[in-house]
Structure 1
Amino acid sequence: MSESTTRLKRATIFDVAAEAGVSRGTVSRVLNGEPYVSAAAREAIEAAIAKVGYVRNTAARNLAKQSSGAIALIVHEPDSVFIDDPNIGAILLGANAALSAADYQLVSLIIDTERDSHRVTGYLGGGFVDGAIIVSAREDDPISQAIADLRLPAVMVGRPDNQPQLPWVGIDNRGAARQITERLRGTGRNRVGMIAAGLDRDSGRDRLAGFREAMGEAFDDTLVARQRFYTYAAGVAGMAELLRIDPDIDGVFAASDAIAAGALETLRNAGRAVPRDVGIVGFDDSSWALRAQPALSTVRQPAGQLGARAAELVLEQVRTGSLASNGALLSTEVVWRDSA
């Protein structure tokens, strides 16, 4: 059987006009919400639309308007992080809620490889989206530069130091890390280390800087286990490294809740009780924090609000044709539970 006999033909405005017994112009006026159409004609057209299965060609309409009606959410993370990190999902949902309220569609684009970067760059240059939200941008990220070159309305979640000066929304990672580390030390811990991650982006570097500040003269760089991603596996490996370096370690700041949960597994397997032998704190107040045993002391960051605010800033640029305010910091808070 040939393709032409199996593919359904898309109903057109001419089919609607023929079925309703009116002109194409009358159908067009109804579709565009224009007046000067009789109630009888409008009723006949609506019935014809339902009968022939007409669906408006949004792509053609958007081409005429020079607008796609879509905003891209670009996540620069491997698959493992996308699955492990609940913050990405919360950012996505927050952005989607704000865009939906403005009748915009969210398009998710995941960058895991260099090939993905080239593919996404080409997609962004094709006019398929009106703007972009960038999550987890790294140093020398080609996507951020491509967006700046395209003059595409965009907002970063976070603010890498060496990226184009795009508007951004974020949190005070450094101050929050310092605050929770100071509280951990206040429980009487003497040998405190950190499982650091994401050091190729602002969040990871700032959390390490905040930890260093809180430790002061007690900071020991050998007690910093550096991992690449904010994952459970990074916590397992990082905690094993810290125990090899100093079996007497009694406090750990994990750069994310997923990392802290992995560290808890390593500590259990090593026969170390939490918080009796080792106090541990995380960062995010994600679902990992409540699933962990014991429940994690952590920093609560408003991931959903970050996504919503980023979407609002992008839409502001789309509407006005100019850059949004340069940056916005949202507040965090320490949530103290049983792990420390």
Structure 2
Amino acid sequence: MGSTSQRRKRATIHDVAVEAGISRGTVSRVVNGERYVSEAARTAIEDAIAKVGYVPNTAARNLVMQKTQAVGFIVHEPHSLFLNDPNIGEILLGANASLSDADYQMVCLVIDSDRDTDRVARYLSGGFVDGAIIVSARKNDPITRVVSGLDLPAVFVGHPPELDDVPFVGIDNRGSAAAITSRLLETGRRRVGMIAAALDRDSGADRLAGFTDALGDHFDPRLVVEVPLYEYSAGVTGMRELLAREPNIDGVFAASDAVAAGALEAIREAGLSVPGDIGIVGFDDSSWAARCSPQLSTIHQPAGSLGRRAAETVLAQLRGDEVKLGGILLDTPIIWRDSA
């Protein structure tokens, strides 16, 4: 055996035609899924494909058809949050299930810096995907502008603030936040604060607006601490700040379950109990909610369904179906547990 190994020659349509004893044109029609081929010929060709190990060159075929059979899944979050946020994971898996059923490939594109933004913009402009699903779009997000400028079939998970004429799949963050804050108030809490996260995107801003709606005349802006991301460490620092501002606080709405889990640590650190001293509620009904002790009262966000509906919306555009502009809002029931 020599020092360099020979690469195995890739089987071609010609090899299949020779093995089956059928013309290359007929083999090509079978490979491309066309009809008007006899059952006998189709069976012979399928047997020959299996024998010679032929695999269609989808890259070449897609080049001719100007299709990639791929959809970009674009997440504008730090890499650490992409890996640790269970909602993003569930949205991704839901979208991938629908795309896979339609024989489309998902391409994950994570934006964590300006350099990432430029790279992804070039990638989208190069025609490497047929459509896009965009998660966590921010205000004045350059990727949003790139997608709009390319006229690329796309759907947003959540509603980008500056765009009213794009399809999106989401939830009523404002109404849901108001509902769970009201439920918290019904337990008798009087000094209720909020750890508000991600105010540069619609979900964070709307959850703060819902909290404000529920408090009405009792809203105290001093009892709102703003943190940048939906993450555990932000909950720890946010809760410490709330306790410093108002030692007698007795209720907290955290903008996500991860934030609420961090807040629980800070409450225990201060020698206080949940729900005895402070009642706390979160948002998402993610794995964080079940891992906490006590388990979190929260809003159920159907993350997997959001991903599936988003993928279905992009696929409908790719088929040429008429897609209604505006949003599809999914239900978000309150899940009441022991934390409040």
Q: Same fold (TM over 0.5)?
A: yes
Matches within 5 A, 1:65-214: 65-163=65-163, 165-214=165-214
- Tell me by how many angstroms 1:321 deviates: 6.6
- Tell me by how many angstroms 1:144 deviates: 0.7
Q: Where in structure 1 do 4 or more consecutive aligned residues deviate above 4 Å?
A: 41-44
Structure 1 distance, partners of 2:271, 2:93, is 39
- Tell me by how many angstroms 1:37 deviates: 4.9
Structure 2 distance, partners of 1:215, 1:36, is 69
CA 1:199–1:36: 2 relative to 1, 3 Å: closer
Structure 1 distance, partners of 2:47, 2:313, is 41
Does the CA-based 8 Å contact 1:74-1:132 persist in structure 2? yes
- Tell me by how many angstroms 1:189 deviates: 1.1
Structure 1 distance, partners of 2:30, 2:37, is 9
- Tell me by how many angstroms 1:43 deviates: 4.6
Greater shift in the superposed pair: 12-21 or 266-275: 12-21
The normalised TM-score by structure 2 is 0.93
Structure 1 distance, partners of 2:192, 2:288, is 22
| Residue of structure 2 equivalent to 1:316 | 316
- Tell me by how many angstroms 1:6 deviates: 4.5
Matches within 5 A, 1:49-60: 49-60=49-60
Does the CA-based 8 Å contact 1:70-1:131 persist in structure 2? yes
Does the CA-based 8 Å contact 1:317-1:324 persist in structure 2? no
Does the CA-based 8 Å contact 1:144-1:164 persist in structure 2? no
Structure 2 distance, partners of 1:131, 1:90, is 20
- Gaps spanning 5+ residues in structure 1: where? none
- Tell me by how many angstroms 1:127 deviates: 1.9
CA 1:321–1:241: 2 relative to 1, 3 Å: same
- Gaps spanning 5+ residues in structure 2: where? none
- Tell me by how many angstroms 1:279 deviates: 0.3
The normalised TM-score by structure 1 is 0.93
Does the CA-based 8 Å contact 2:158-2:203 persist in structure 1? yes
**Matched residue of 2:103: which SS?**
coil
For 1:235, give the aligned amino acid: G
- Tell me by how many angstroms 1:122 deviates: 1.3
Structure 2 distance, partners of 1:102, 1:163, is 28
For 1:23, give the aligned amino acid: S
**Matched residue of 2:87: which SS?**
helix
| Residue of structure 2 equivalent to 1:259 | 259
- Tell me by how many angstroms 1:23 deviates: 3.5
- Tell me by how many angstroms 1:48 deviates: 3.3
Does the CA-based 8 Å contact 2:155-2:168 persist in structure 1? yes
| Residue of structure 1 equivalent to 2:302 | 302
**Matched residue of 2:252: which SS?**
strand
CA 1:38–1:312: 2 relative to 1, 3 Å: closer
Matched positions, count: 338
CA 1:211–1:53: 2 relative to 1, 3 Å: same
Structure 2 distance, partners of 1:252, 1:2, is 68
Does the CA-based 8 Å contact 1:172-1:329 persist in structure 2? yes
Structure 2 distance, partners of 1:184, 1:284, is 16
CA 1:186–1:324: 2 relative to 1, 3 Å: same
**Matched residue of 1:97: which SS?**
helix
Cα deviation, 1:39-79, whole Å, max 9, x if unaligned, reads 2x545533432233211011222222222222111111112
The RMSD of aligned alpha carbons is 2.0
For 1:94, give the aligned amino acid: G
Sequence identity percentage? 64
Structure 1 distance, partners of 2:142, 2:321, is 23
Structure 2 distance, partners of 1:206, 1:132, is 24
**Matched residue of 2:280: which SS?**
strand
